[in-house]
Structure 1
Amino acid sequence: MPLSISCSEKNKAGLVILNGKVLTIDEKNPMAEAVAIDGGKIIAVGTTKKISSFISEGFTKVIDARGRLVIPGFNDAHVHFGPLDPDFIELRYITDPAVMTQKVAAQVAKSKPGELIRGGHWVHELFTDKLWPTKELIDKVSPDNPVILDRADGHSTLVNSYVLRMSGITKDTEAPFGGEIQKDPVTGEPTGILKDAAMDLIRTGNSKVTRSIEEENERKWQGYLLAMKEARELGVTSLQNAGAADFQVYEKLQKEGLLTSRIDIGEPLTADTAVLLKYRETEKKYPKTGDWIRFGYLKAFADGSIGSSTALMFEPYSDNPSTSGLAMWPYDEIEKMIVTADKMGFQIGVHAIGDKANNWVLNAYEKAIATNGKRNSRHRIEHSQTVSLSDIPRFAKLGVIPSMQPTHCISDKLFYEKRVGYERCKGTYAWRSFIDSGSILAFGTDYQVEPLNPMEGLYAAVTRKDRLGEEGEGWFPEQKLSMEEAIKYYTLGSAYAQFMDDRKGMIKAGYLADIVITDRDLLTIPEDQIMKTKIDYTIVGGKVVYSKEE
């Protein structure tokens, strides 16, 4: 078939994709072969013969998909996006705590006395002894440097004695509301583990690295470029930042033609109307009618995490009956913040992991409706991890979006039943139950808590098995999704959560041309091939921003 044929000036496209297996996520036209794009938008979807008529020789760029899968670009509904730090100590997936010692020692060797050493992403349940790490692991190699190593969930951190000393944390220090200072049961001394609000006590007294302002700015700028590169290589065309970020940096990226993922940026939830009025001014500058840099939702935390045993539960933890988790705010304060912000028309997203935390947030959203009236608010609960079975239908009834991250399921299932017991796990990562009750899911990763790679999330959603693979049907397999469903909630579902489902999340005429082409057919390959799948092309706004072939 010739790839360059004549067409009318009116119908010519800047880019076409031919000979593909196009999963459109459009219920009215679920599968196609080809796509025509112009002016940043999709102008036609159909057969290769039909779309070939949009080719204008010398004008149209043609991608021959050669039978590969073509899907909407991935829209990560919950990320903590920002510049990557080249000095960060990566501890993801380590099984031997001694690796912490080795990596800290190596970084200390490259650092000056007093310079802060940071790292993280460890999970003690992956350690061979499954014990919480202690300051002794790192004290011996970091006597003159502050060291902070965050757990993967971001709700606990390990610090060395240098940091404890600078922070004034001793055996007599009481933990603040919503926090815990882990102490040795025999000596009463701090072990070096601080949880949630107790992390706010950290003081490092660190010596600043001697860099000029220009050098520091350049270092951060390169960190943003590395982060953007990672996103486009993984096919992530949209990012919904969970909380605040620097709008001006993304404006600069856009101005220089380096913004290769669309981004929503929010702010912290508050009941302070003066602050909310300032947010409203920011929202006017970055409106929801925009397509690139937009004001997102207001974020708050209701509780901690299951991994750190700080998620707020109705009943005590099965493996630690002395605690039922931690509330980050008293309920009355959560309700006040939600009702106030809702009245002013903001979208709200509250982090809730435990069943009690989810119940509290649903109650507060219900109160907002009773007080302010019902509207198309699309409020969210970020994570929605462990939910009482009786609360699951309330999400759809109240119009609340479960914003969920599938990889948390396969990371946390290692310890979930140990923490909360079998019965409570029935409402854990309950994707199928949410859908059956009428909810629209929004999928993401919680990057950098979890890797940004969408393939890991898709694998988790359809298998509920650990990353190494395992026999059987997976963990609570009745909650699994089909691959097509998983892709839908990673694209159109996430777009719905940000009020963009009218123009993003489907391969459909009139929609934004955010598209990826994969090197394997996710709809037919065996499950052990899903995480090995790579992106061949990433297209954002009709522009090829990544091509493995080029």
Structure 2
Amino acid sequence: MLPQQPPAISDSAVNGTKASNVTGQNKMKANGIQAPKVTKAKSRFFGRFGALIGLTSLWAAIRYSNWAPVSSYALCSREGDFIYTVDQNNTNVQCVVVQGAHISHTGSLSDLTGHSSSYPILGAIAQVFARPSLEIRFIPPGSIVVPGVSDSHAHILEYGASHEIPFEGSPTIADAVSRVRDAILNDPDTINNKTKWIRGSGWDHTVWSSLPSAGDLDADPYIRGRPVVLQSKDYHAVWVSREVIRLSLPLPDSVEGGVIVRDESGQPTGVFLDNAIRYIKQPDLTNDDLRKRFKIAVDHAYERGLTSIHDAGLDPVSLAFFKEQADNGLLPIRIYGMRHFNPNEAFWGNSTEIIIGTDEYRLTARSVKIFADGALRTGGAALYEPYYDNPDTSGFMRLDDDILFDAIRKFLQNGWQVNVHAIGDRANGLVLDAFEASLKGVNVTALRPRLEHAQMMTRNDMKRLGKLGVIASVQPTHAISDMWYAQDRLGPERVKLLYAFRSIIDSGARITFGSDFPVESMNPLSAFYAAITRVSPDGKSPHGPNGWFPEERLSRVEALRGMTIDPAYSSFTEDILGSIEAGKPFSTLKLWPLSLMVRQCMELWIVMSNGFVDWDGGSWGWICIRF
């Protein structure tokens, strides 16, 4: 059993003074947002993983209360070059010099102490290293330092919502219904108010015997007559009660790019897919709802060491909320927002403000999120050929081809980064057609278009991806979730094109990692593990312990870049984020190793974000990274 927190090393190992208060931190605390106390991240994922492989921990830690921001200091490893800069050459160094909140230089310990070194000492760096007052701080033995990690595809407020009534791991429809009933019985305000809306998310019909229905909810006397809206695990389906169906009438007979599931008599069953979800009528969220959801997401992001999150689909309400938080200095992490595209609205790309953040202003909204198709799990991913397990359908596009092409062209022309959700091979092919037509004669580096998910594409389209300079924004944890049913859905040949990360990189394309939380775990180290192993947390896969299609595994260096510099590039922030280089804010993570049989895995603790520590504590997670 792992200790709740590692033992602190002696004060002599790290010198410094008590941290002073920071205005931004005080604002956050006044609004109920603060870094969590130092506790081990609660993760069944890695608890099972650790038990399986019989790890022997090599604990080392540091008392962060002794690490105060000073004008200049050096952070070093006594053991050698174990600061992973993730620069263009993937350089490792022994020391990083910090001045204020920014990195001044990198080099070796010999440079600092004036002895011979393999690192050249030139100009300003010599002056800094020559200063006798420069404080040298050493990281604990066996630990490393990497840049702060980012999540390239996530849903912040939806993550908070997923904790209202969580359905993750619910084995049956009856169990899910019981969770709704328990939520009602445990909330006195809800018990006495049958008009109060009940929301939850995370149910997964692929582990149930059938799709759920409104009748399943209304069969329970405590639920009957109440408005209930429950999002699926992949957020491409919604399960509602009969009261919500009644409030949403009249409903259309058919929906382009979506499905209102109906019974044999033609009546809605209570499940809405993709574009049909917009016909569910429900009240807008209040500011109090948004604040509660935001706090949950931010607290958990702190615990998992995230320093930047790309939110994949901001509607006007959520964008206004984030802007208010940023304007008041209440964003503790950087948010890169993608504005949601609604084809039923007038084009706004030529009249809407593009928000670009700075070192201090932590909100950016310069991209648009467009949905091309649905999800593989619900059978909505658009394929060239019918589904292997359902020959009657090939999925569907959520937009007509002409609308898709026109929207991509217009947004690119007006300077927006265009990020398109594309799952199936047909959807990815059509989006690449649109990008290819729209990017002719255009500086692609200035626009950096993205395929969000890029789950399945032909070999030729993988090559086009690299040729066009389109970024593949992928979620490695989706691969180890979907691998158990993917071949049933796609067949033995097409499944080889699914989550083919190695093939995508080898085609010359750039990838970036996300989690799609709350669909998958928020922990970025789960994505790292999935990318380099392609096995489940218990070490299994349909192809054995070496991984599901092991030829598609990534190296540790590639995975680390996918969590750091690649997200920075895909959000136009590579000049300030993603690597440990001179001039950038010092936003890093320090990791402690665990001996894990063949793999070397690490225990993670956040060190700094924007040059200061949140002194209430650090955070825990896992990673297999020392290489």
Q: TM-score range by the shorter chain?
A: 0.7 to 0.9
Q: Which runs of 5+ in 1 are unaligned?
A: 6-10, 210-215
Moved more, 306-315 or 372-381: 372-381
User: Aligned pair in 2 of structure 1 residues 374, 257: CA closer, same or farther (>3 Å)?
Assistant: closer
- Aligned-partner Cα distance in 2 for 1:101–1:120: 12
**From 432, 444, 461, the counterpart of 2:514:** 444
Equivalent residue number for residue 269 of structure 2: 191
**From 95, 106, 125, the counterpart of 1:34:** 95
> Which AA in structure 1 matches 2:142?
G
Preserved CA contact (<8 Å) 1:463 1:477: yes
Tell me whether 1:201 sits opposite 2:279 in the alignment: yes
Equivalent residue number for residue 261 of structure 1: 333
Per-residue deviation at 1:103?
A: 0.7
**From 225, 232, 251, the counterpart of 1:144:** 225
Equivalent residue number for residue 145 of structure 2: 70
User: Aligned pair in 2 of structure 1 residues 332, 253: CA closer, same or farther (>3 Å)?
Assistant: closer
Equivalent residue number for residue 207 of structure 2: 126
Equivalent residue number for residue 241 of structure 1: 311
**From 162, 177, 185, the counterpart of 1:101:** 177
Instruction: Report the TM-score when normalising by structure 1.
Output: 0.86
Per-residue deviation at 1:168?
A: 2.8
Per-residue deviation at 1:253?
A: 4.2
Could you say what secondary structure the match of 1:426 adopts? Answer: helix
Matches within 5 A, 1:381-460: 381-460=451-530
Preserved CA contact (<8 Å) 2:512 2:562: yes
Moved more, 220-229 or 535-544: 220-229
**From 386, 395, 405, the counterpart of 1:335:** 405
Equivalent residue number for residue 246 of structure 2: 165
Preserved CA contact (<8 Å) 2:157 2:290: no
User: Aligned pair in 2 of structure 1 residues 182, 254: CA closer, same or farther (>3 Å)?
Assistant: closer
Residues 469-510 of structure 1: CA distance to partner in whole angstroms, max 9, x if unpaired?
A: 214321111111122211111111111111222332112222
- Aligned-partner Cα distance in 1 for 2:359–2:608: 21
Matches within 5 A, 1:240-319: 240-244=310-314, 246-247=318-319, 249-250=321-322, 253-254=325-326, 258-269=330-341, 275-279=348-352, 282-283=353-354, 285-286=355-356, 292-319=362-389
**From 559, 568, 592, the counterpart of 1:495:** 568
Tell me whether 1:473 sits opposite 2:546 in the alignment: yes
- Aligned-partner Cα distance in 2 for 1:309–1:174: 20
Per-residue deviation at 1:334?
A: 0.5
Equivalent residue number for residue 8 of structure 1: none
- Aligned-partner Cα distance in 1 for 2:260–2:161: 28
Per-residue deviation at 1:260?
A: 2.5
Preserved CA contact (<8 Å) 1:93 1:126: no
Per-residue deviation at 1:104?
A: 0.6
**From 75, 82, 104, the counterpart of 1:16:** 75
Could you say what secondary structure the match of 2:238 adopts? Answer: strand
- Aligned-partner Cα distance in 2 for 1:507–1:515: 8
User: Aligned pair in 2 of structure 1 residues 86, 305: CA closer, same or farther (>3 Å)?
Assistant: closer
> Which AA in structure 1 matches 2:551?
E
Could you say what secondary structure the match of 1:407 adopts? Answer: helix
> Which AA in structure 2 matches 1:23?
Y
User: Aligned pair in 2 of structure 1 residues 234, 55: CA closer, same or farther (>3 Å)?
Assistant: farther
User: Aligned pair in 2 of structure 1 residues 62, 105: CA closer, same or farther (>3 Å)?
Assistant: same
Equivalent residue number for residue 54 of structure 2: none
> Which AA in structure 2 matches 1:264?
Y
> Which AA in structure 2 matches 1:158?
W
Q: Which runs of 5+ in 2 are unaligned?
A: 1-11, 17-69, 114-127, 621-627
State percent identity of aligned pairs.
Answer: 30
Could you say what secondary structure the match of 1:82 adopts? Answer: helix
> Which AA in structure 1 matches 2:608?
I
Residues 456-480 of structure 1: CA distance to partner in whole angstroms, max 9, x if unpaired?
A: 1111111111233214321111111
Equivalent residue number for residue 586 of structure 2: 513
- Aligned-partner Cα distance in 1 for 2:425–2:598: 31
- Aligned-partner Cα distance in 2 for 1:217–1:17: 45
**From 446, 451, 461, the counterpart of 2:531:** 461
Preserved CA contact (<8 Å) 2:142 2:592: no
Equivalent residue number for residue 82 of structure 1: 157
Moved more, 433-442 or 21-30: 21-30
- Aligned-partner Cα distance in 1 for 2:319–2:136: 33
- Aligned-partner Cα distance in 1 for 2:197–2:300: 26
Preserved CA contact (<8 Å) 1:42 1:509: yes
Equivalent residue number for residue 324 of structure 1: 394
Per-residue deviation at 1:317?
A: 0.8
> Which AA in structure 2 matches 1:126?
V
**From 235, 251, 261, the counterpart of 1:182:** 261
Residues 115-142 of structure 1: CA distance to partner in whole angstroms, max 9, x if unpaired?
A: 1111111222234x4x322333322221
Per-residue deviation at 1:67?
A: 2.5
Preserved CA contact (<8 Å) 1:12 1:54: no
Could you say what secondary structure the match of 2:562 adopts? Answer: helix
User: Aligned pair in 2 of structure 1 residues 239, 87: CA closer, same or farther (>3 Å)?
Assistant: closer
Equivalent residue number for residue 353 of structure 1: 423
Moved more, 139-148 or 217-226: 217-226
> Which AA in structure 1 matches 2:72?
A
Tell me whether 1:542 sits opposite 2:611 in the alignment: yes
Per-residue deviation at 1:152?
A: 0.9
User: Aligned pair in 2 of structure 1 residues 519, 287: CA closer, same or farther (>3 Å)?
Assistant: closer
Could you say what secondary structure the match of 2:331 adopts? Answer: coil
> Which AA in structure 1 matches 2:460?
S
Could you say what secondary structure the match of 1:340 adopts? Answer: helix
Preserved CA contact (<8 Å) 2:71 2:100: no
- Aligned-partner Cα distance in 2 for 1:504–1:253: 21
User: Aligned pair in 2 of structure 1 residues 428, 276: CA closer, same or farther (>3 Å)?
Assistant: same
Preserved CA contact (<8 Å) 2:161 2:201: no
> Which AA in structure 2 matches 1:225?
K
Tell me whether 1:25 sits opposite 2:86 in the alignment: yes
Could you say what secondary structure the match of 2:551 adopts? Answer: helix
Moved more, 301-310 or 409-418: 409-418
- Aligned-partner Cα distance in 1 for 2:410–2:536: 41
- Aligned-partner Cα distance in 1 for 2:434–2:378: 25
- Aligned-partner Cα distance in 2 for 1:125–1:60: 57
Residues 14-72 of structure 1: CA distance to partner in whole angstroms, max 9, x if unpaired?
A: 57354473222125462223323223221222334546886999996946333212111
- Aligned-partner Cα distance in 2 for 1:369–1:361: 12
Q: How many residues align?
A: 524
Preserved CA contact (<8 Å) 2:290 2:321: no
Residues 64-120 of structure 1: CA distance to partner in whole angstroms, max 9, x if unpaired?
A: 333212111111111111272497110112223322011110122221202111111
Residues 398-433 of structure 1: CA distance to partner in whole angstroms, max 9, x if unpaired?
A: 110001111111111122111111211111111101
Per-residue deviation at 1:292?
A: 2.5
Preserved CA contact (<8 Å) 1:35 1:51: no
Preserved CA contact (<8 Å) 1:516 1:538: yes
- Aligned-partner Cα distance in 1 for 2:320–2:279: 30
Instruction: Report the TM-score when normalising by structure 2.
Output: 0.76
Preserved CA contact (<8 Å) 2:213 2:269: yes
Tell me whether 1:380 sits opposite 2:450 in the alignment: yes
Preserved CA contact (<8 Å) 2:444 2:469: no
